Structure 1
């Protein structure tokens, strides 16, 4: 196992500055090309964060977000004090294949997504109720309280809602839930972008997030599934009622 990055070679792959839009996806693609062209193997270390920042001309937060997404996909592992290591070989064609839908308008796209989201979120809630640890409960509580603060302050909860659901995925202790979410990121993000320009989109589901959390904490898988269904039922009703 190599403990240092491959030495620079101008005849091989190089990293170059990226344009300003879609940074996270571009960083992932750039790293995938670099890994493929350098023929890095599982166990090899990627260039350090400061080198990636300088080479790609992006901020550290963008690098960290991309590495976090690659980590969620099981491609790399960030080890504190050591660096980021490749777990499995990838190429620019396999690193991230975003799912897409073809639909007549936002409402139809959201309804399609919701059908898939129902199965994933209900199963994740059931698994979380069965497997959550004390540490998971603390993380879910922190995410829920931030969501509640955001909701009371802004009328909606946006990314804080997303973070709470992510904490449930993590409490399920099945990495495929998070990997599936990463594959659907481009679509699911539309649930947290003020659909139909309404701050109150799915606001009626707000109380059920607390009852969902309580069910998971109690280890009640059946109740966790039911509370998740209530949340998703509200989302579906609002999609149908708010669409033009």
Structure 2
């Protein structure tokens, strides 16, 4: 039986590519080709409109897209600036935290960190190189010196954990932690007005390093949990 021509699938014309998407792709290409770095200024709106042949609303829509991703910022009266390198191949996973209720945000962040850091410690124990161990121990030594001198070690503590993340050789571990960094940096400035915050968790950073150096993933996971469990207890205690 001969098929009725009316039953055949219809070949539809290709949709016109979204203009704002074209602009975001063009901007990403420009940033990459111009080798712009964080802090560099992007071309002005009028310059982009002329170069790309689009209207102001399209340019602003593309700018809002990049702002939502946290890779550019617009400074009133100054211009638009790059916060992070970007290209068409970049994957952006912006995180949003309401820091009004700091205690709650810290505990929420800690829940996420618990999963990420335990896995990072286990991966680090499996993949770390001798060079990685040297870097991690240098950060640990610096953390211990500052802690013994001042009783606290906020930035040095973060540097130690970032070194552990780097030793996984998976850049997403470090990037995810850094996207939560602002909350913790604010916190370290005034840790509930307690200079001895994280004092009880301090010794377990050395045992975490020992587990990673020994290539023992389960021990690395256990030591990471000890650190984060104590941090959670301290946050709850100090914020009563």
TM-score after normalising by structure 1: 0.64
34 and 150 in structure 1: CA distance in 2 versus 1, 3 angstrom threshold: farther
Match of 1:88 in 2: 87
Match of 2:121 in 1: 125
Matches within 5 A, 1:1-244: 37=27, 39-40=29-30, 42=32, 44-47=33-36, 52=40, 88-89=87-88, 97-101=94-98, 105-244=101-240
**1 CA distance for matches of 2:37 and 2:175?**
24
Structure 1 residue 48 displacement after superposition: 7.8
**1 CA distance for matches of 2:120 and 2:200?**
22
Structure 1 residue 34 displacement after superposition: 10
**2 CA distance for matches of 1:238 and 1:185?**
19
Match of 1:63 in 2: none
Give the unaligned 5+ runs of structure 2.
1-22, 44-70, 72-84
Check the 8 A contact 1:118/1:229 in 2, yes or no.
Answer: yes
TM-score after normalising by structure 2: 0.65
Match of 1:10 in 2: none
Q: CA-atom RMSD, angstroms?
A: 3.2
Return the index of the structure with the highest Cα Rg: 2
Secondary structure of 1:40's aligned partner: helix
Task: Show CA shifts across 1:194-220 (max 9, x none).
Answer: 320111111110100000000000001
Check the 8 A contact 2:139/2:160 in 1, yes or no.
Answer: yes
Structure 1 residue 188 displacement after superposition: 3.3
